[in-house]
Amino acid sequence: MKKRGQLTIFIIVGIIILASIGLYFTFRSSIVKQEYTITDTSNVNRFVDDCIEQVGIEVIKQVSEGGGYYFSSEKSTSSGLAVYYSEGQSYVPTKEDIEDEISEFIKENLFFCTQNFVDFPDLDISQSEISVETSVEDENVNIEVNYPIRVTKGESSDLLRDFEKTIPVRVGTVYWMSKEIVQSSREDICLSCILDLSLENDLYVDMNDINDNEVMFMVRDENSKLNEENLEWVFVIDYE
């Protein structure tokens, strides 16, 4: 009876040890898998973040040089510059128009940057439709991107969805000053008004005659950089 009791104890202890070993490797496998998944997802997340910043900067630069438009506005010069005032009519875009313009072309161009994630051949990455919301502030442009991305490797799978990027350029301030220039100089150029606005907002304004009637204005912010280039907002007033 004693030997049988000892045998029973050994069997129970053995089961406990085996169960402990099994739990250890299950737990350890879970940790390794989680660490591996987090690492892969972090790389993809960082890659998308970089793309949003890169595309955002290029789009903001294009929109700024277009006076708030990615392509030529409905009212533009023969060379494609946005006309803000002509024949008693204002064509200044609203801030919402500019935000929509930036959002639309970030959405259109982001796929070209991510390139279907060919830089991640070891991962199975699926992606869904992108939506973008842009907020133009005085000191920043805030970009919120909803971009559902499923990252899978083996049995591990993670979902990335929401991304946010703030680009420190004073688009709102430059746009506001451009509207003020149109308001004060739509009938005749008010040099003192422009000088006061420039000094007040630490901005520079260049003016060039395109022809006898059209004058191009460039509002430049040397404190805001887009790929090491100054933020420049360009528009035209037609004095015909």
Question: How many Å separate Cα 63 from the centre of its chain?
Answer: 13
Q: Which of 111, 108, 155, 147 is nearest to 129 (CA)?
A: 147
List per-residue pLDDT tens for the chain, 240 residues long. Answer: 444 444 444 444 444 433 443 443 333 323 323 333 445 688 899 999 999 999 999 999 999 999 999 987 889 998 899 999 999 999 999 999 999 999 999 999 998 999 889 988 889 999 999 999 999 999 999 999 999 999 998 888 899 999 999 999 999 999 999 999 999 998 899 999 999 999 999 999 999 999 999 999 999 999 999 988 999 999 999 998
Task: Give CA–CA dist 98/31, Å, rounded.
Answer: 47
Cα gap 208→217, rounded to integer Å: 7
Quick one: pLDDT at residue 154?
85
For 5-48, write each residue's pLDDT tens digit: 444 444 444 444 334 434 433 333 233 233 334 456 888 999 99
pLDDT of residue 11: 43
- Residue 52, pLDDT score: 95
Q: What element of type H or E holds 119? A: none
